[in-house]
Amino acid sequence: MARRPRPPEPYPAFQNLPVRQVALGGKQWLGVHQSGDWRPGAVPLVCVPGYIRNMADFADFLPLLRRVSGIDMPIAALDLRGRGRSSDRQRAEDYSTLADAEDLAEVLAALGIGKCLMLGQDHGGHAIMALAAAHPALIAGTILVDCGPVIDPRGMVRMRSNLQYVAASRTREQARTALEHILAADYPARGAEALEGLAARLFSSDKRGRAVPLYDPALEVRLGDVAAEDVFEAQWPLFNALGHAPLMLCRSQLTDQLRSETFDEMAQRRSDAVAITISGQGSPALLDGQDEVGAIAEFIAFALKNKVQHTGQ
């Protein structure tokens, strides 16, 4: 399989996200950005992006969380394999939620993290649920964003169509127009400049002006022949794996990744969970508003207090 080109350096979307390569087996690695005060015993927040996404989706969230919370907590944001500045898997069939969960466990061990809070957007949240099923002691609390145990095939179909639409572009201007058209539906309140910045989180361009994805194109292959009317098996046992620790549920108002009825059932099954809706946007959630980031900061404070009460630390 041909390797995708690495993102150009320096790249604006990663400007404030310096990365280190955490080695995995077989000369593979995950790109990890660390910030904050990593003093011994501190419980970090680990942020995991969506299916074809990368850590640039947390570029606005991380500094705003620090300002809102008023604490310099340790935070790690990462790119799953095949995304952003991480290495690619050898074959399309090697990509899976379970494989990503195994990578998360390996990276947490490499970083010396014995327990952490985790925030996952759509596929990133699914990987966290799988991680919790295999290694529950690692999880001190979870924030799921546009993610649930029932996958909405409409989101997968739309993602595949959008990627094909952008790939058909022959010039930089065509690619920019295509991306802004797609993003305008998810972020109707954002202007052209903001949409251009959001597009740069997923695509760069080559010397000929063609769109170059910041993810392994093999991930598109994994979308296969999914149809909007498909019904996927509900994975409530994986959701239940989060039951031992505090939980926050977030759903973007315009998302097609998580149906509202699934979100409501999640909140009913976990009546102790914090549940919020992020208004006026789709997936991935931008996490750049005072309301939602303030709610996340409050949840983090609660989860950390809960850990102290249960461990006596």
Angle of the 172-186 helix axis to the 192-199 helix axis, nearest 10: 110
Grade residue 311 by pLDDT with cuts at 50, 70 and 90: low
Q: How many distinct helices (H) and strands (E) make up the chain? A: 10, 10
Please say whether the beta carbons of 121 and 128 come within 8 A.
Answer: no
Question: What domains are defined for the chain?
Answer: 21-151+231-311 (3.40.50.1820), 155-221 (no CATH)
Output the 3-class SS for 191-221. Answer: CHHHHHHHHCCCEEECCCCCEEECECCHHHH
Tell me: the pLDDT tens digits for 261-284?
999 999 999 999 999 999 999 999
Positive/negative CA dihedral, 189, 193, 194, 198: positive
Amino acid at position 74, single letter = P
Please say whether the beta carbons of 249 and 266 come within 8 A.
Answer: yes
Please say whether the beta carbons of 46 and 76 come within 8 A.
Answer: yes
Tell me: the pLDDT tens digits for 54-110?
999 999 999 999 999 999 999 999 999 999 999 999 999 999 999 999 999 999 999
Grade residue 312 by pLDDT with cuts at 50, 70 and 90: very low
Please say whether the beta carbons of 172 and 212 come within 8 A.
Answer: no
pLDDT at 313: 46
Instruction: In whole angstroms, give the CA distance from residue 75 to residue 72.
Output: 9
Q: Which of 223, 219, 82 is nearest to 160 (CA)?
A: 223
8 Ramachandran zone, left/alpha/beta (phi>0; psi -120 to 50): beta
Cβ contacts of 258 within 8 Å, gap of 6 or more: 122, 146, 147, 148, 152, 155, 251
Amino acid at position 301, single letter = A
Tell me: the pLDDT tens digits for 153-205?
999 999 999 998 888 888 878 888 898 899 999 999 999 999 999 999 999 98
Cis preceding linkage at 284, omega within 30? yes
DSSP state of 119: E
